[in-house]
Amino acid sequence: MSIISNSLKRIKPSPTIAVTQKARELRAAGNDVIGLGAGEPDFDTPNNIKEAAIKAIKDGDTKYTAVDGTPALKKAIVGKFKRENKLNYSTDQITVGTGGKQVLYNTFMATLNKGDEVIIPAPFWVSYPDMVLLAGGKPKIVKCTEQEGFKLTPKKLKKVISKKTKWLILNSPSNPTGAGYSKKEIQNLSKVLIKNKKVNILSDDIYEHVKYDNFNFFTIAQIPKLKNRTLTMNGVSKSYAMTGWRIGYAAGPKDIIKAIRKIQSQSTSNPSSISQAAAVEALNGNQGFIKKRAKAFKERRDFVVKSLNDIKGINCLIPNGAFYVFPSCKGLLNKKTKLKTDTEFVQKLLVKSNVAVVQGSAFGLDGYFRISYATSMENLKKAMNRIKSFCESIN
Ligand code: PLP
């Protein structure tokens, strides 16, 4: 009998981490691979944040803290929601975890019973379905097309809600498409949710601060009738280039926050005390970094979208946030190219042209691929040339 548990057999390793690992291996073997698979900003953590961490170490801020976050960090998070989202929370409505990923995982472990359904609009972040499965829940994937801007429509939402629906996940701006929901679009989805009265909403706002073209970020907890059914997850990873520090947080109903704390108390306990001190500075300190970085990302986005749309067989929407594009490669899946699927496309691209991207099917929508442009302009220029030559060579 296998030593591995049945619940673990329900899930698969993260495909985006797998691509990054594959690119790393090929590079180690001497290949000049350009990795466009990683979901992490290439910028360094701002100095004021690093200094706060060094100070924490020197001050002996190196012991266990409260399980779900220090009072100072919870206060900073309360301040962030008030300042940036006009949302009022008390500190007992806040939880801090080791990355947004842990907060999401704990949420599902704390709230899902066997058979509970979680609505996940596709394309989705790869970890949602597997986390739900691990917790015994049932992912209900709703495909959102390119024509719909890769966004959930009220009609599709209404259709998929059942008596077993526990959560709806919304992620705006989105990984992998970069699509952001406007206030109007969120209001329209809200009408369905207000009518339904039961569905809880998990809003993953991790890309809140990576946005372009005056896109006005709006989060569903700002709809007063839905605030007490919404858990809003956010973190410092993407906003402040702090992926390695592992600090994420959520705000929402006290009973859910308390349940998350219970799980954390019996698993990891508190996130790193030093990272928490750094996160306080990230949230309370100078916010200039966000604007400066957004400008650099916008230049890259514009370059990548234009370069892709210049390639015959590729079509790419202009995203209004995050650092990903999600182009279609359907125009290249045919008899002439001998490619049938997006997976074959990305595999051949990696082997023939040394560019690592992730197939759309990993995110729940076939016929597409994801490019992360969180890398230097120099790399992007090289990568776009290689993708163009590759597509021309097969077409
Ligand atoms: N949510 C989305 C959509 C993400 O893309 C990520 C990271 O890639 C996370 C959550 C988790 O981020 P972290 O655990 O670094 O806070």
Question: What mean pLDDT is reported for the chain?
Answer: 95
- Ligand 1 atom with minimal separation from the 104 CA: 10
For β-strands 248-251 and 230-235, DSSP reports them as antiparallel
Ligand 1 atom at minimal distance to the Cα of residue 171: 3
Pocket test for ligand 1, best of 170, 207, 238 (most atoms within 8 A of CB): 238
What pLDDT is recorded for position 316?
A: 98
pLDDT at residue 222 is higher than 90: yes
327 C-beta closer than 6 A to ligand 1: no
Q: pLDDT tens digits for 287-326?
A: 999 988 988 999 999 999 999 999 999 999 999 999 999 9
Strands (E), 276-347: 324-325
CB 116 within 8 A of CB 164: yes
The pLDDT of residue 7 is 85
| Count of helices and strands (H, E) across the chain | 13, 12
Which pLDDT belongs to residue 303? 98
Spatial separation of the C-alpha atoms in residues 76 and 93, rounded to whole Å = 13
Residue 168's DSSP bridge partners are: 119, 201
Distant-in-sequence, close-in-space partners of 108: CB < 8 Å, separation ≥ 6: 118, 131, 132, 134, 135, 137
Pocket residue to mutate for ligand 1, from 101, 171, 202, 205, most atoms within 8 A of Cβ: 101
Contact 373, 323 (CB under 8 A): yes
Q: What are phi and psi of 382, to 5 degrees?
A: -60, -45
Q: Is the pLDDT score of 17 beyond 80?
A: no
CA dist., res. 109 & res. 103, Å (int)? 10
> Residue 365 corresponds to which tokens in the numbers above?
């929508």
Residue 170 and residue 217 in contact, taking contact as beta carbons nearer than 8 Å: no
- For the cut 90, the answer to whether the pLDDT of residue 41 exceeds it is no
Domains by residue range for the chain, with CATH:
7-44+289-394 (3.90.1150.10), 62-284 (3.40.640.10)
Least-confidence region, from 3-7, 10-14, 16-20, 195-199? 16-20
Please state, in angstroms and rounded to a whole number, the distance separating the CA atoms of residues 84 and 189: 22
Higher pLDDT pick, 97 / 15: 97
pLDDT given for residue 11 in this prediction: 86
Q: What is the pTM of this model?
A: 0.96
Using a 6 Å cutoff on CB, does residue 177 contact ligand 1? Answer: no
In sequence order, which residues have a C-beta less than 8 Å from that of residue 290 and are 6 or more positions away? 209, 239, 240
How close is the Cα of 310 to the center of ligand 1, in Å? 31
Quote the CA–CA distance of 41 and 24 in Å, as a whole number: 17
Closest Cα to atom 5 of ligand 1: 175
pLDDT in tens, 349-384: 998 999 999 999 999 999 999 999 999 999 999 999
Instruction: Using most ligand atoms within 8 A of CB, pick from 45, 127, 210, 231 the residue to mutate for ligand 1.
Output: 127
Single-letter code of the amino acid located at 110: A
**Distance between alpha carbon 144 and the CA centroid of its chain, in Å?**
17
pLDDT digits (tens, 9 = 90+) for 111-137: 999 999 999 999 999 999 999 999 999
Beta pairing, strands 248-251 & 355-356: unpaired
CB of 127 within 6 A of ligand 1: the answer is no
Q: Is 182 helix (H, G, I), strand (E, B) or coil?
A: coil
For 103-171, give the DSSP string: HHHHHHHHHPPTT-EEEEEES--THHHHHHHHTT-EEEEEE--TTTTT---HHHHHHH--TTEEEEEEE
Do residues 349 and 390 make contact, with C-beta atoms less than 8 angstroms apart? yes
Q: What is the pLDDT of residue 6?
A: 87
Query: pLDDT value at position 315?
Result: 97
Q: Any idea what DSSP says for residue 239? A: T
248 Cβ inside 6 Å of ligand 1: yes
Question: Is 15's pLDDT higher than 80?
Answer: no
Tokens 């230097």 map to which residue? 376
Residue 323 in contact with ligand 1 by CB distance below 6 A: no
Query: Is 38 touching ligand 1 by the criterion CB < 6 Å?
Result: no
Q: Helix, strand, coil: what percent of the chain each, to 5?
A: 45, 15, 40
Q: Dump pLDDT digits (tens) for 131-190.
A: 999 999 999 999 999 999 999 999 999 999 999 999 999 999 999 999 999 999 999 999
